[in-house]
Amino acid sequence: MDQAPRQARVVVIGAGIQGNSMAYHLAKLGWKDIVLLDKGPLPNPGGSTGHASNFLFPVDHSKEMTKFTQDSILQYKELGVFTESGGIEVARTPERVEELKRRLASATSWGEPAELLTPSQVKELIPFINQDIVLGGFYSPGVGVVDSLRAGTLMREEGERLGALTVLANTEVTGIGVKNGRIGSVETSRGRIDTEVIVVACGVWSPRIARMAGASIPLTPAVHQMIDVGPVPILAGTVGEIGYPIIRDVDTNMYERQHGSEFEVGSYAHRPILVDPDKIPSMEEAALSPTELPFTREDFDPQMEQALELFPEILGDERVGIKYAINGLLSLTPDGMPLLGESPQVRGLWSVAAVWVKEAPGIGRTMAEWMTDGTPEIDPHASDIARFYGRATTRPTGSSTRPSNGSPIATSGSVPSTPGRRSSARCSSRPPAGSGPTGTSRTPGSSTSTATGSCPARLSGTGDGGPPSSTPSTWPCGSGSA
Ligand SMILES: Cc1cc2nc3c(=O)[nH]c(=O)nc-3n(C[C@H](O)[C@H](O)[C@H](O)COP(=O)(O)OP(=O)(O)OC[C@H]3O[C@@H](n4cnc5c(N)ncnc54)[C@H](O)[C@@H]3O)c2cc1C
């Protein structure tokens, strides 16, 4: 086994789409001695990126999120991994029709082309949709799909070509050395790396990594269910990966997309299924991958009925079987926004967590600019990890409940966060002088103790996936091979 370098200017932990984007943009801005490592194999180390549906809708009511996604689409296009398909958000209720009008206002404000569609216009673009339950649509022509694993490979290759990047696969971070409130080193399965800057791009594992430094990255791994059915006879003639706009059925918190002759159905509407970061299985323990937990079919049943209402020709066809079904893991935060910036608790510990494929390259660029000179072009203030008061940075211990907007929250009982070196309510999170690529403030070889997690509480009353259930008789399409 190769040893890790003894020193690095910056260590990026996690080689999913976000870690690759970080290494790429830091290298492009002139940083040298970058080490990117992942505990899994490459190009698919087992994180959420490896099983994403990989579609991007650019328009959000948040200007910040829209800008991140618009920039990401440009970057994916430059890398040659983007396929434009267009996308439609459909309305089943009059209230949603009103919201789609506001969405058009947001799109116009943020400079993104879009238009409202009548039900028959929706049907023209998607001939297999049930027009009878659609009251209108919001069409976004810039929607598309990407190959996020290929994008990551191209980004790593560019960092290596610039002579700035060392990539270590199958290398696990086991501890972080902190001295006087600053990062000093990273302990890995290939030895210790002295560094003053760490970027945590570990997706659902990020809270574990932060705890190694005595800090908090307040996200919760949560299940998002997705199934893939096919082959679908009426899609047999579709050319290429995608030939029809992607559908977001926002009134039911679902999405559907054609994928070759197959059809994906994803749901955010099921009960909250939260998973403790410490209980995510290892690569060896997992049947598929650490972030593809066994499918719990009974949670998906009501959503399948709703998807059937919209696509009876596909999902009601008894010849169509289920090819793949997972309880996938993604990151949820207290307010739904990403967690970006230097930790308010430990200097030199940068979080790039709770990020989707759709905004990762834009966030990578923004973070690299922020780390280099403190002034990113896109203002990331709503995603600043320093935005929380203490309670939101603690680990929830009670049962879960669902608020009216459908997103899971944890309730009752919390433990105090690990005491930080600085207040989590600080106003500014700009980097210290000299933290850019030519910074000289490092303290090489400082001997530091490795902080370990100090919050014993666990999530309770939450599922961890569990075994697949038996096939219920209510499912419309064939039982396939899920
Ligand atoms: C079913 C499903 C469908 C989705 N579809 C979409 C979609 O269509 N569009 C979209 O934009 N988003 C989608 N998402 C969300 C998206 O997949 C994730 O938000 C995104 O991939 C996160 O990327 P990441 O790089 O932050 O994390 P990850 O891809 O999870 O990477 C984190 C990496 O950190 C590594 N790591 C963890 N701990 C350690 C350690 N101790 N030492 C070393 N390495 C470590 C892991 O091995 C992993 O490779 C979907 C999610 C799910 C579950």
CA angle 417, 413, 278 (to 5 degrees): 60
For ligand 1, atom 4, name the residue with the nearest CA. 52
Of ligand 1's atoms, which has the minimum distance to the CA of residue 148? 21
The 10s digit of each residue's pLDDT in 362-403 is 999 999 999 999 999 999 999 999 998 877 777 655 444 333
For ligand 1, atom 10, name the residue with the nearest CA. 357
Torsion-angle region of residue 370: left (phi > 0), alpha (psi -120 to 50) or beta? alpha
SS3 readout for 418-437: CCCCCCCCCCCCCCCCCCCC
- Residues 230, 258: Cα–Cα separation, whole Å: 10
Tell me, what's the pLDDT at 397?
Answer: 52
Our mutation pick for probing the ligand 1 site, out of 330, 339, 359, counting the most ligand atoms within 8 A of Cβ, is 330
Q: What tokens appear for 371 in the block?
A: 């780390």
274 CA to middle of ligand 1, Å? 16
Residues of the chain with pLDDT below 50 are 398-482
Domains of the chain plus CATH, in order, are 10-47+148-219+334-388+424-451 (3.50.50.60)
For ligand 1, atom 35, name the residue with the nearest CA. 14
Tell me, what's the pLDDT at 481?
Answer: 34
Tell me, what's the pLDDT at 456?
Answer: 22
For ligand 1, atom 3, name the residue with the nearest CA. 52
Of ligand 1's atoms, which has the minimum distance to the CA of residue 171? 43
Of ligand 1's atoms, which has the minimum distance to the CA of residue 19? 25
Of ligand 1's atoms, which has the minimum distance to the CA of residue 38? 44
Our mutation pick for probing the ligand 1 site, out of 208, 248, 355, 357, counting the most ligand atoms within 8 A of Cβ, is 357
223 CA to middle of ligand 1, Å? 12
Q: Comparing C-alpha atoms, which of 280, 162, 266 is closest to residue 224?
A: 266
- Residues 62, 70: Cα–Cα separation, whole Å: 12
For ligand 1, atom 30, name the residue with the nearest CA. 47
For ligand 1, atom 13, name the residue with the nearest CA. 52
For ligand 1, atom 19, name the residue with the nearest CA. 356
For ligand 1, atom 31, name the residue with the nearest CA. 16
Tell me, what's the pLDDT at 278?
Answer: 93
SS3 readout for the chain: CCCCCCECCEEEECCCHHHHHHHHHHHHCCCCCEEEECCCCCCCCCCHHHHCCCEECCCCCCHHHHHHHHHHHHHHHHHCCEEECCEEEEECCHHHHHHHHHHHHHHHHCCCCCEEECHHHHHHHCCCCCHHHCCEEEEECCCEEECHHHHHHHHHHHHHHCCCEEEECCCCEEEEEEECCEEEEEEECCEEEECCCEEECCHHHHHHHHHHCCCCCCCEEEEEEEEEEECCHHHCCCCCCCCCCEEEEHHHCEEEEEECCEEEEEECCCCCCECCHHHCCCCCCCCCECCEECCCHHHHHHHHHHHHHHCHHHHCCCCCEEEEEEEEEEEECCCCCCEEEECCCCECEEEEECCCHHHHHHHHHHHHHHHHHCCCCCCCHHHEHHHCCHHHHCCECCCEECCCCCCCEECCCECCCCCCCCCCCCCCCCCCCCCCCCCCCCCCCCCCEEECCCCCCCCCCCCCCCCCCCCCCCCCCECCCC
269 CA to middle of ligand 1, Å? 20
Tell me, what's the pLDDT at 442?
Answer: 28
46 CA to middle of ligand 1, Å? 8
56 CA to middle of ligand 1, Å? 15
462 CA to middle of ligand 1, Å? 21
48 CA to middle of ligand 1, Å? 3
Burial class (CB in 10 A: 0-12, 13-18, 19+), 31: buried
Q: What is the CB-side half-sphere exposure of residue 220 using CA atoms within 13 A? A: 29
101 CA to middle of ligand 1, Å? 32
Tell me, what's the pLDDT at 1?
Answer: 54
429 CA to middle of ligand 1, Å? 25
Cα–chain center distance at 367: 16
Average pLDDT, the chain: 84
Q: Which residues pair with 87 in a beta bridge?
A: 140, 246
Our mutation pick for probing the ligand 1 site, out of 13, 25, 49, counting the most ligand atoms within 8 A of Cβ, is 49
480 CA to middle of ligand 1, Å? 27
12 CA to middle of ligand 1, Å? 15
User: Which residues does a 6 A CB cutoff place in the pocket of ligand 1?
Assistant: 13-19, 37-40, 45-49, 51-56, 172-173, 201-205, 209, 224, 226, 328-330, 355-358
Of ligand 1's atoms, which has the minimum distance to the CA of residue 145? 8
Our mutation pick for probing the ligand 1 site, out of 356, 358, 383, 385, counting the most ligand atoms within 8 A of Cβ, is 356
CB 31 within 8 A of CB 372: yes
- Residues 353, 276: Cα–Cα separation, whole Å: 16
Of ligand 1's atoms, which has the minimum distance to the CA of residue 328? 53
The 10s digit of each residue's pLDDT in 232-280 is 999 998 888 899 999 999 999 999 999 999 999 999 999 999 999 999 9
